[in-house]
């Protein structure tokens, strides 16, 4: 018998619910994840940052592997257990991170699908190791150390990825009416925008966006909930046809707790580069087109870009619908 070998009895899997006995495997997996999260509390760009590849890809992998290893020491598990038990342990791990205030709600929601997939993969790998070899103990030791080994071997990638989303809507109003709404968006009600996915997961709701003349030219002053405020510096200005602005943030633009550090606009990992609106007269009204350009800088850019495309795309659709409703209401009021 090899050191650390498992010789669990083959047992039938009970019907109904997860096939486990007790919560020990889940607690062990979730605690391992929390320990790794505490270790990966370094500054942005450091090898021990929570956004480094060693943590993002391999911490949930280790959570899944440890969950299955502990479970297999009691009895043989099914392949469905190798998938769903790590998924649950990963969920508990993320909840634990929220509970001890080392992670924010927005980050947790955004990263959970990726963590779940990595955790399930770790569970399947460990399950196969337990079934096919006599060295599960050595394997789990190696997997538990994998996040740190990867972090040391591959420092965090600081490359930037630039992306953009574009949407448009036909508004039954004149270009002048639409232009007025873009540059004088006051008293935005939660009901107008709160159905956007970004706001549902905790991003503060917009309150107003008002263009004012300044010594350096027109600037759109934007305010959100939770005390968020910043300037949108207008770079292109063609009245009733086109406007494009870039973003300028002050030290107090995002008060503590307004946004998670890992997704803060203008932060190390995510930024909005510019936003442009183009107004084109068409039969029946005005075509309003929006283009939002952004930057992401992570070790998981493919996934981060997938998330950004969906969140910003949905956000753009909601904002266009708000301008559509406001412009058409104004136009109808003028006609009545």
Q: Domains in the chain, start-ordered, CATH in brackets?
A: 24-153 (no CATH), 161-335 (3.30.530.20)
CA atoms within 13 A on the CB side of 67: 38
Alpha helices in the chain (DSSP H): 24-39, 53-72, 79-99, 105-132, 136-153, 175-183, 190-193, 197-200, 301-335
pLDDT for 2: 45
Low-confidence ranges of the chain (pLDDT < 70): 1-21, 155-158, 331-336
- Cβ-contact 33, 62 below 8 angstroms: yes
pLDDT for 154: 76
pLDDT for 157: 64
Give 325's strand partners: none
Q: Please give the C-alpha separations between residue 183 and each of 85, 114, 291, in angstroms, as whole numbers.
A: 51, 38, 16
pLDDT for 99: 87
* Secondary structure letter of residue 8 according to DSSP: P
What is d(CA 81, CA 124) in angstroms, rounded to the nearest whole number?
Answer: 9
pLDDT for 331: 62
* Secondary structure letter of residue 315 according to DSSP: H
Query: 164, 65, 165, 76: which is closest to 121 by C-alpha?
Result: 65
Q: Is 239 helix (H, G, I), strand (E, B) or coil?
A: coil
Q: Angle 93-98-103 (CA atoms, 0-180°, nearest 5)?
A: 100
pLDDT for 158: 64
Query: 76, 99, 80: which is closest to 30 by C-alpha?
Result: 99
* Token code pair at residue 76: 């043989």
């Amino acid at each position: 018998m090899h050191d650390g070998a498992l010789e669990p009895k083959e047992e039938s899997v009970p019907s109904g619910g997860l096939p486990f006995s007790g919560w020990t495997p889940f607690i062990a997996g979730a605690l391992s994840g929390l320990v790794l999260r505490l270790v990966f509390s370094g500054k942005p760009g450091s090898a021990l940052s929570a956004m480094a590849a060693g943590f993002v890809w391999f911490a949930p992998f280790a959570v899944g592997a440890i969950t299955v290893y502990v479970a297999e020491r009691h009895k043989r598990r099914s392949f469905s257990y190798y998938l769903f038990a790590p998924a649950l342990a990963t969920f508990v791990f993320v909840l634990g991170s929220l509970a001890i205030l080392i992670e924010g709600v927005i980050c947790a929601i955004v990263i959970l699908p990726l963590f779940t997939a990595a955790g399930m993969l770790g569970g399947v790998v460990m399950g196969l190791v337990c079934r096919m070899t006599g060295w599960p103990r050595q394997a789990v030791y190696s997997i538990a150390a994998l996040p740190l080994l990867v972090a040391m071997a591959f420092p965090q990638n600081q490359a930037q990825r630039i992306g953009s989303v574009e949407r448009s809507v036909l508004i039954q109003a004149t270009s002048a009416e639409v232009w007025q709404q873009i540059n004088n968006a006051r008293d935005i009600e939660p009901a107008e925008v709160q159905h956007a996915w970004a706001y549902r997961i905790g991003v503060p709701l917009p309150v107003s966006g008002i263009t004012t003349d300044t010594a350096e030219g027109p600037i759109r002053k934007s305010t959100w909930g939770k005390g968020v405020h910043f300037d949108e510096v207008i770079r292109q200005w063609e009245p009733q046809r086109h406007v494009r602005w870039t973003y300028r943030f002050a030290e107090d633009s995002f008060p503590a707790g307004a946004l998670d550090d890992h997704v803060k606009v203008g932060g190390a990992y995510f930024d909005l580069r510019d936003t442009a609106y183009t107004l084109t007269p068409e039969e029946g009204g005005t075509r309003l087109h929006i283009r939002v350009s952004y930057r992401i800088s992570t070790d998981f850019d493919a996934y981060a870009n997938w998330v950004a495309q969906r969140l910003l795309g949905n956000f753009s659709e909601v904002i266009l619908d708000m301008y559509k409703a406001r412009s058409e209401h104004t136009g109808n009021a003028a006609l009545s």
